Structure 1
Amino acid sequence: MPGCSTRAVLQLVGPTSWTEVRAVLAYDAADPYAVRIRFGGRASRPGVDERRTRHPAAAGLGSGDTGGEDDGVEWMVARDLLHAGLSHPAGDGDVRLWPARTAGDVLFLELRAPSGHALFELSRAVLAGFVADSERLVPIGREADALDVDHELQALLQGEGPETGGR
């Protein structure tokens, strides 16, 4: 199935300074509800088009300091959360997104994990362009149409599912 991706530069908001963090937002129509945000590495989903760069500062995605070329941190977030967060606060728990009150092109993305949390600033235009690209592949509200439920069910019944180890 087709996919799309966008390279982005986010600002990690720190107590005394901000740090530039490069990331790849990746969407795969075979997993129509999810978006993967990969920090410090390359997108891990095969078949995802990484040629698009919508933000001029995003040229040259870094490979991170964690080892091999594909290392990095990846978060999976709901595409509808990203869509909603473009215009109003969205999300609870681990992932939240909201527009800045004062600047038109600024969004804040907060990620929480047991090990801590991070607050990022990112460009609304970059995220809106990425969400629009994903909607051209699978319109919002039509995600179920993109799923091959029969194939997935068959794979699960034959023990070929993604989580077959020891459950």
Structure 2
Amino acid sequence: MNSLVHRSLVVQLQASGTDRFPVLAHLGYDADDPFAVTAAFSHDGRVLARWKLDREMLQEGLIRPVGMGDVRFHPVSTGPWEELCMEFYGDAHPDGGRHHAAVYVWAPAVSGFLKETYQVVAPGEEAVDVDHFLAEVIAGG
């Protein structure tokens, strides 16, 4: 079985004080990093941002608000249209505020992607090779 899952989606990006505009989101999952989903957001061939997201938190965000730090998820329902709102917070502004962007994605697409990842590594069966991880940390300096 393939240990990689990838999905590209058109999502809506809304940066501080702007209207939504479409960008591509490339979601990736690798069984070698079983707790994480990589999300790369791009527009006109340029990567705008890349984040490592917690897979379990992503799943919970489809149902209820989760997150307290730089990454937060919550469901958004506008009639028949179900979305996941992913909020990302960056560096502080001089006025004390923070850079902020929200990405809106069709919730069934995220759910389908996560189901594919669960076929690779089921929830609760994630494992990390601690010896390999420590060897990489020590080798890195």
More strand per residue: 1 or 2?
2
1:61-100 aligned within 5 A: 62-64=44-46, 71-100=47-76
Q: Distance in 1 between matches of 2:77 and 2:48?
A: 31
Matched, 1:8 2:9: yes
Partner of 1:128: 111
Aligned to 1:58: none
Point out where structure 2 has 5 or more consecutive residues left out of the alignment: 93-98
Count the aligned residue pairs: 132
Report Cα offsets for 1:80-137 as digits up to 9, x if no partner. Answer: 1101011111111111111114344212111111161101211001100111111111
Q: Which residue does the alignment assign to 2:91?
A: 114
Could you say what the CA RMSD is over the residues aligned between the two structures, in angstroms? Answer: 2.1
Name the SS for the 1:82 alignment partner. Answer: helix
Q: Using the alignment, how far apart are the partners of 1:19 and 1:89 within structure 2?
A: 23
- Identity of paired residues, percent? 33
Q: TM-score, normalised by structure 1?
A: 0.70
2:129 aligned residue (145, 148, 151): 148
1:107 partner letter: L
1:26 to 15, 25, 28: 28
